[in-house]
Structure 1
Amino acid sequence: MTRRHASKFFPSVIAQATLAAAVAVSAGALVGCKKAPPANADAAAQQALLVSPEDVQTMGNSDFATGPVITGSIQPEKRADLRAEVQAVVLQVLKENGERVKKGELLVRLDDTAIRDSLTSADESVRASDQSFDQAERQFQRMKTLQGQGMVSLQAMEDAEIRRNNTQSDLVAAKARAASARQQLQRTEARAPFDGLVSERKVSAGDTAQVGKELVKVIDPATMRFEGLVSADAMAELKLGETVYFKVNGVESGDFQGRVRRIDASANPTTRQVAVLVDFVGEKAPTVAGLYAEGRVQTQSISALMLAEAAIQREGDKAFAWVLGGDGKLAKVALKLGQRDDRLAQYQVLEGLKAGDRILRRPGSSLSDGRHFEMSKPAAASAAPAASAASGG
């Protein structure tokens, strides 16, 4: 082979050799990456759960209030439905829903034109009847005097007395018609029967109010009470003065406490429930009427193992709790729950736990059975060595 041809051949051979070496190095690097596991994979899997003392609840017996469930609404004791007592057109509605009113304050005014005309006519009849009676009375007195002197007959005197009595009857009837017209005139004005609030306005100016039509509703928010219903099956458990714990929808101030004031003597024939009246005790009652309320009448209190609802994990119909074992491992324990204490949001534990068990108050969803845990030191205890070290330096 000539030198010129060799110079053309060797560069391509060298290039191919260099490329093959580079491919081999790359393949080795890929194989090395596939075989090398992460250094901290096992450590992450075996990392202990750090638990603070605030996250741990020690099980123990506590009082559990039992009794029949009561449902109902918050209603004022003083409430009035003002209705039209005469047929007339509504001229003015002076108060709106939620506005405060004073006793005797005008709320609704009806058209009184026709009634005023009737009153004027009745007053004129009274005036005319009064004049006729006065005249008949004077005539009777004259006849009585003349009859005593023998100048007129007894029959003439009796006729004068009859006329006097008739005019007196006409006067009484005229006064009654005038009083009725005046009363009708007063009924064209709807006034507040007591201090309170307008809870519902039923009419507007221009409406025709028939007799019996609702105009406005007035309530006294200071007289709220719980009007509840209890199943007739639990009627034997109810007693006057028993404590009631209940919640009110829309009110975020927690549970309310009440006391049974009245128990109806008969049950509703349709629902088979007994009406119970409960007064608020110790706390300010809601000021809004009609709010739904639900609770329990505390007929008796027993000692039981109670568990907060936040510490319970549910999987379908099953309930579990996470127990901190003495071996430093978490244990997922199945529970059998009893009744719920609505006042404290706790359940009675029938099986699965015992007094003295330590459980997580608010377990997360990523826990695993058998996982190790460690108790963290309180903040005050961990800060004390650091402070002493700083002073020593």
Structure 2
Amino acid sequence: MKLETLPPYTQPTVRKPGWRAPAAILIVIAVAGGGWTVLRGKPEAAPAAPANAAAAKEKQDVFELSTGDIAAVDARSLAVSLPLSGSLAPLSSATIKSKVSGVVEATTLQEGMAVSAGQVLARIDQADLRARLQQQQAMLDEAQAKFAMATKNEGNSKALLTQKYISQNAYDSTQNTVDLARANVRSAAAMVEIARIALNDGVIKAPIAGVISKRHVQAGEKLAPDMPVYSIVNLSELTLEAQVPASEIPRVKVGQDVKFRVDGYAQRDFHGKVARINPATEAGSRAMLVYIAVKNDDSALRAGMFAKGSIVTDRSAVSPVVPLAALRTDKDGKSLVYKVEKGTLVSQPVKLGLRNEDEGYAEVVEGLQQGAHVIVSRLDRLKPGALVKLPGAAAASTPSALAKSADAAKG
């Protein structure tokens, strides 16, 4: 019996499902495609980064100003003033006093009423004055009669002396009588004139034109000589008497303009001119009085009002003026301003003239023109060369903006 060798037993192989191989292929393809996309996208995104950085840098460097940060340079006359204060006094005033004694018959005018020069203010009972005038006139007539008799006797004595019927001494005595009679006539005539003046003084008249400020007597009162009757002030022109420190007097000159205000007219400015300067200082204050002439055509001002104002001691020509807040100083101590020019901040040296600390402006002699924009705020981050943007209102007023607006209007 032939023995045949059988092949060894082999366990049957179980075949897995066939979907896994295609899935693995798809995964490999997806990973390869994603890697290719990433590698391709990196070079394209790289150029975009510098553009965004430049935009961010540009946005950071441009500083937008507000309306409170800048000021436009104006051109006008700048004045330097010296403050003062004082009281208003009438240029002319009068207190009318009685020259004669008597009873007041009438006083028709009252305080606040206007009067003209020569107008009757009051009348005094003239009966006594008139009788005194008549008495003096009678004494004058008597003196004239005696003088006439003495003159006639002197003529007769002269004739007798010529014929040598009387002595020279007798004639001289007659002539002396004539001289005495002539003197008595002159004396009596003077007394008549005095009585006539007294009669006229019984009618009290205004010596100046003005306004009644005080009536001192009433009708029926008895007046004595030198007793006040009326007070009159002339308000057409007033004098402001102001005290100025002696150290400031060299700045004050006759003819300088003065501007002031008074209580009751808070929004109205009054004007005057320096008329006189007192050469002596006031005791105690060591100040000097300055007299300022003030026209009062509308009679708005009154005597005794307190005034507060200033004297214009110096005035510049029409030139650019810059706010004091815009001024800066370089390391050499020279004045400069930060000016906005074509969107860039520029350090502009300036030469200054007059300064007005009260108004807060200084005259620019050189370095700036009217219409320029300067920085008035203390912005520490702003340095010369920085890019700035003007506010809409200020930018519209620049020459370039106006030119663009004009071109747009033409189009």
C-alpha distance in 2 between matches for 1:178 and 1:238: 56
Q: Does 1:107 align with 2:121?
A: yes
Residue 120 of structure 1 corresponds to which residue in structure 2? 134
Residue 191 of structure 2 corresponds to which residue in structure 1? 177
1:141-220 matches, cutoff 5 A: 141-220=155-234
Q: Is the 8 A contact 2:235 2:296 kept in 1?
A: no
Residue 68 of structure 1 corresponds to which residue in structure 2? 82
Q: 1:260 aligns with which of 274, 296, 311?
A: 274
Deviation at 1:138, TM superposition (A): 1.0
Q: Does 1:305 align with 2:319?
A: no
Deviation at 1:58, TM superposition (A): 3.8
C-alpha distance in 1 between matches for 2:296 and 2:323: 29
Deviation at 1:253, TM superposition (A): 5.8
Instruction: Give per-residue Cα distances to partners, 1:71-91, cap 9 Å, x unaligned.
Output: 223333232221122333333
SS in 1 for 2:131: helix
Q: Which has the larger radius of gyration?
A: 2
Q: Which amino acid aligns with 1:116?
A: R
Instruction: Give per-residue Cα distances to partners, 1:15-39, cap 9 Å, x unaligned.
Output: xxxxxxxxxxxxxxxxxxxxxxxxx
Q: Which amino acid aligns with 2:283?
A: P
Q: Which amino acid aligns with 1:215?
A: V
Instruction: Give per-residue Cα distances to partners, 1:259-307, cap 9 Å, x unaligned.
Output: 2111111122243332222123798663532222111112135866379
C-alpha distance in 1 between matches for 2:178 and 2:212: 53
Please identify, of 80-89 and 122-131, the stretch whose mean Cα deviation from structure 2 is larger.
80-89
Q: How many residues align?
A: 276
Deviation at 1:60, TM superposition (A): 5.4
Q: Does 1:135 align with 2:149?
A: yes
Q: Which amino acid aligns with 1:212?
A: D
Change (3 A) 1:306 1:251: farther
Unaligned runs of 5+ residues in structure 2 are 1-66, 326-354, 363-372, 378-390, 397-411
SS in 1 for 2:165: coil
When normalised by structure 2's length, the TM-score is: 0.57
Change (3 A) 1:253 1:172: farther
C-alpha distance in 1 between matches for 2:212 and 2:70: 50
C-alpha distance in 1 between matches for 2:164 and 2:295: 85
Change (3 A) 1:73 1:282: closer
Unaligned runs of 5+ residues in structure 1 are 1-52, 308-337, 359-372, 379-393
C-alpha distance in 2 between matches for 1:85 and 1:271: 40
Deviation at 1:140, TM superposition (A): 0.6
Change (3 A) 1:282 1:171: closer
Please identify, of 196-205 and 279-288, the stretch whose mean Cα deviation from structure 2 is larger.
279-288
Q: Is the 8 A contact 1:224 1:286 kept in 2?
A: no
Deviation at 1:220, TM superposition (A): 2.6
When normalised by structure 1's length, the TM-score is: 0.60
Q: Is the 8 A contact 1:222 1:287 kept in 2?
A: no
C-alpha distance in 1 between matches for 2:69 and 2:221: 66
Change (3 A) 1:67 1:109: same
Deviation at 1:110, TM superposition (A): 2.6
Q: Which amino acid aligns with 2:323?
A: L
C-alpha distance in 2 between matches for 1:160 and 1:121: 29
Q: Is the 8 A contact 1:59 1:305 kept in 2?
A: no
Q: Does 1:288 align with 2:302?
A: yes
Change (3 A) 1:295 1:146: same
Deviation at 1:107, TM superposition (A): 0.4
Q: Is the 8 A contact 1:103 1:193 kept in 2?
A: yes
Q: Is the 8 A contact 1:256 1:283 kept in 2?
A: no
Q: 1:86 aligns with which of 100, 104, 120?
A: 100
Change (3 A) 1:137 1:84: same
Deviation at 1:142, TM superposition (A): 1.5
Instruction: Give per-residue Cα distances to partners, 1:235-270, cap 9 Å, x unaligned.
Output: 222111122111122235621222211111112224
C-alpha distance in 1 between matches for 2:218 and 2:374: 66
Q: Which amino acid aligns with 2:269?
A: D
Residue 223 of structure 1 corresponds to which residue in structure 2? 237
Q: Is the 8 A contact 2:78 2:356 kept in 1?
A: no
Q: Is the 8 A contact 1:71 1:294 kept in 2?
A: yes
C-alpha distance in 2 between matches for 1:110 and 1:271: 47
